Chains A and B, each alone.
Chain A
Amino acid sequence: MVDLAVDMGRGLVLANPVMPASGTFAEGLAKVVDLNGIGALVTKTITAELRGGNPVPRVSEVANGMLNSIGIPSKGIDHFLDETLPFYRQFSSPLIVSISAPTVDDFARAAERLNVEGVAGIEANISCPNIEEDGKAFAMRPGTTEQAVSAMRKVTELPLWAKLTPNTGDIAAVARAAEAAGADGLVVGNTILAMSVDIETMRPTLGNVMGGLSGPAVKPIMLRMTYQCARAVDIPVIGCGGIASANDAVEYLLAGARAVQVGTATFIKPGTMDEVIAGIAAYCRRKGFNRVVEMIGALNAEMMAPDVMEAAQ
C-alpha cells in the first residue's frame, strides 16, 4: 500500500493529494462518485453579497480547453452556512471554502465568518477584481496580495490558502508576498484571461467578451508557474491547470506541488479525480515510492545546467 497522505501544514492532513478546483465542483458530483474518497472538497467561490453572475453564453469550447465567463454567482455566506455546509458535512473529506471579496476589509470579514464547525480551511480567490485598485486582481501584484492575505490571517486560525492568478508578470514575487503575509498554502492558479470569436456571427463567443481559459491547453503554462512558485516559497503549493489524468498530476507533483486540483476535466469525465488518485498510487508503486511525499519535487532538472549541456556537445 502506498501512503498517499500529504500534510498541508497547520494541522491539515489530506488522505490523498487530489481535490476539485473551485467552481468546477458542487453537490451534483456526489451522485456519480464517492466524495469520501477525495483528498479535500473545495467549494465554488462564495461572496458575502448576493451576485448574479455574467450574461450567457458563459462558456465556449476552444482547442483542447474551454473559456468561461461564469462570474461568481453567489447566494451569500449566510445561505452557504445554512444550506450548503450541512450537505458537505456528510462526507469525511475536509471542506475548503473558497471566498472572494471586492476589498481587503471584505475579505477579512468573509474569512471571519467561516470560523464554524465543518470548515477545514479557506481558499482565498484573490484573482478577482479589487475595486480599490481600479479592478486589478489582488494577486496581480505582491503589494495587494500581501494586504489581502494579512487581513485574513489576523481573523482566522484556519488553514489559509491563497489562489494566485497567472495573469501577472512575476508570479514568484506574488507567491513570496502571500507567504510573507501568512498564507499556509498557494493554489497555482486560476484561469488565463483569453477570448475567442465566432467568425460566422462576427461576435465574441462569450456574452462577456473575455473569459478564462482552462483545460489541457493551459497545463504547460500552469505547470511552469507551479514550478516557479514551489521554488520560491516553503509553504505547500497546490498545482492547478489542465489536469485530466494521473500522468498530468504526476508532472505537477514532480515539479514541486504538494497537492493538485482537478477542474475542467471533471466536466468531461466526472470520475477523473478517482482515476487520478488511483493512477498516482500506481505510479508510486512503479517507481518504488512508498509514500507519495517522496515524489514531491523529485524532478531532476540538474542535467539542464549549462555546463552539463556544454559537456554533452
Chain B
Amino acid sequence: MRQHSFADVPPVADAFSAQVADTAARVVANDWVNAEYKLIVLDAPGLAATAEAGQFFNIECPVVGEDKPFFRRPMSTYAADSVSGRVAFLYKVAGAGTRGLAALEAGETTRILGPLGVGFTLPEDIGSIVVLGRGVGLATLAPLAEMARERGVAVTAIVSARGPEQVLSVERFRNAGAQVEIVLDSDGTSDIANVEAILRRLHAEGRADGFYTCGSNRLMLLMQNLAAELGIYGEVAMEQQMACGLGMCFCCVRNFNVEGEIVSKRVCWDGPVFPLAEATSW
C-alpha cells in the first residue's frame, strides 16, 4: 500500500474568512441601454465589490409569472467599485432568467454570489493590447480596459455589432482611454477579412502586444490564428451553461487544447478566462 504523508498540509485556519460572498444586493438602477440590453447597478458592499476584470457573479433571478428560473445566472462583472460598494452588470434579455432580472426595480433586492472564477491577466512585458468583442462579450472586456489603463497599458477596442443601434460600451472604452474602432454587419466592416486587416495593421503599428476576446466564436478563431502566427500573447473569456459557479457540479465543462492534448476544464473554476491558444471552437 502507498504511504501518504501530510506533513505539508497547512494547519486548520483559526478564523474562517470567506473569499466569495453570497450577498443580498439592493437594486440601485436597472435601465435599458438599447432594445435588447439592460444595465443593472447593485449595492453590494464587502467582498462582492472587489471583483476583478473577467470575474463573474451567479445572480438569483426572480420568479415572474410563467418564468421560474431555478438556477442562478452567470454574468460578467461590468463594473465593481469597492469604494462605493456598487457592482454593475450589462445583460441581454434572453430567456426566463434574464426576463426576471429585467423586472427588478430600484429598491428591490436579489442575491449575488461572487466574485467567481479566474479573471484576465496582463503580463508584465505587455505595453499595448487589443480587445475584440461582440454583444455581451463587450461587457466582459470593458473592465479589462480600465485595468490596462491603471497599469499604463495602451488599449485599442474593436467593437463589433449588427448595426449602429446594437453598439455597446463605446463610451466606457473611451473613458478608459481606449482607442475605439467600430465594425458593423450593416456596412460590412465586421467582415472577418476586414477585422483581420485591422488587427494586422494594429500589430504593424506596435499597438498589439496582447489579444483579448469574448463573445464570438468567429472572432475568437481569427484572433487565435493571428496570435499564433504573429507570436502574440492572448486570452479569451468563455461561456458555458452553469449551475453552481463554484466548481462543484461539473456541468460547465468544455474541451481545451493543452499542448496538443484535449482536456476538459470547468469554465466557472478554471476560467472563465483561458489562454487564447487553448480554446477550441464552440
Query: Would you call B279 an interface residue if the criterion is a C-beta within 8 Å of the partner chain's C-beta atoms?
Result: no
Q: Given the interface contacts A117-B4, A266-B244, does A61 sit within 8 Å of B70 by beta carbon?
A: yes
Interface size on A, residues (CB 8 A): 49
Q: Are B253 and A56 in touch, CB under 8 angstroms?
A: yes
Query: Would you call B22 an interface residue if the criterion is a C-beta within 8 Å of the partner chain's C-beta atoms?
Result: yes
Closest Cβ of chain B: how far from A41's Cβ, in Å? 12
Q: Which of A36, A44, A118 has a CB less than 8 Å from the CB of B6?
A: A118
Chain B residue nearest to A66 in the complex (CB): B70
Q: Are B19 and A31 in touch, CB under 8 angstroms?
A: yes
Query: Would you call B68 an interface residue if the criterion is a C-beta within 8 Å of the partner chain's C-beta atoms?
Result: yes
Interface size on B, residues (CB 8 A): 38
Q: Are A28 and B247 in touch, CB under 8 angstroms?
A: yes
How does the 8 Å CB contact mask read for A223-240 relative to B, with 1 for contact and 0 for none?
000000000000000000
Q: Given the interface contacts A28-B247, A271-B22, does A58 sit within 8 Å of B12 by beta carbon?
A: no
Q: Are B248 and A53 in touch, CB under 8 angstroms?
A: no
Which B residues are in CB contact (< 8 Å) with A56?
Answer: 240-241, 251, 253-254
Q: Which of B241, B244, B253 has a CB less than 8 Å from the CB of A28?
A: B244
Cα(A183)–Cα(B151), bound, Å = 60
Q: Given the interface contacts A27-B247, A70-B250, A270-B113, does A63 sit within 8 Å of B68 by beta carbon?
A: yes
Q: Are A117 and B70 in touch, CB under 8 angstroms?
A: no
Which B residues are in CB contact (< 8 Å) with A25?
Answer: 248
Query: Would you call A52 an interface residue if the criterion is a C-beta within 8 Å of the partner chain's C-beta atoms?
Result: yes
Which B residues are in CB contact (< 8 Å) with A23?
Answer: 249-250
Q: Are B4 and A82 in touch, CB under 8 angstroms?
A: yes
Cα(A70)–Cα(B69), bound, Å = 20
For window 92-123 of A, CB contacts with B under 8 Å fall at: 92, 113, 115-118
Which B residues are in CB contact (< 8 Å) with A89?
Answer: 6, 9
Cα(A30)–Cα(B111), bound, Å = 19
Query: Would you call A73 an interface residue if the criterion is a C-beta within 8 Å of the partner chain's C-beta atoms?
Result: yes
For window 276-306 of A, CB contacts with B under 8 Å fall at: none
Q: Given the interface contacts A32-B21, A81-B4, does A268 sit within 8 Å of B71 by beta carbon?
A: yes
Which A residues are in CB contact (< 8 Å) with B70?
Answer: 61-62, 64-66, 215, 268
Q: Are B18 and A32 in touch, CB under 8 angstroms?
A: yes
Closest Cβ of chain A: how far from B275's Cβ, in Å? 21
How does the 8 Å CB contact mask read for B48-79 relative to A, with 1 for contact and 0 for none?
00000000000010000000111110000000
Q: Are A66 and B243 in touch, CB under 8 angstroms?
A: yes
Cα(A24)–Cα(B247), bound, Å = 9
Which A residues are in CB contact (< 8 Å) with B113?
Answer: 32, 270
Q: Are A31 and B20 in touch, CB under 8 angstroms?
A: yes
Closest Cβ of chain B: how far from A56's Cβ, in Å? 7
Give 16 A-B pairs besides A81-B4, A86-B9, A116-B1 with Cβ atoms closer than 8 angstroms: A28-B269, A31-B18, A32-B19, A33-B16, A34-B16, A59-B71, A64-B68, A66-B243, A89-B9, A90-B11, A113-B1, A117-B6, A266-B244, A267-B243, A270-B244, A270-B246
User: 6 closest Cβ contacts across the A-B interface?
Assistant: A28-B246, A34-B16, A28-B247, A59-B251, A267-B244, A31-B19
List residues of chain A with CB under 8 Å of any chain B CB.
23-29, 31-34, 36, 44, 52-53, 56-59, 61-66, 68, 70, 73, 78, 81-82, 85-86, 89-92, 113, 115-118, 215, 266-271
Instruction: Report 10 cross-chain contacts, Cβ distance below 8 Å, ordered by A residue.
Output: A26-B247, A27-B247, A28-B269, A44-B248, A44-B250, A59-B71, A64-B68, A65-B70, A70-B249, A268-B72
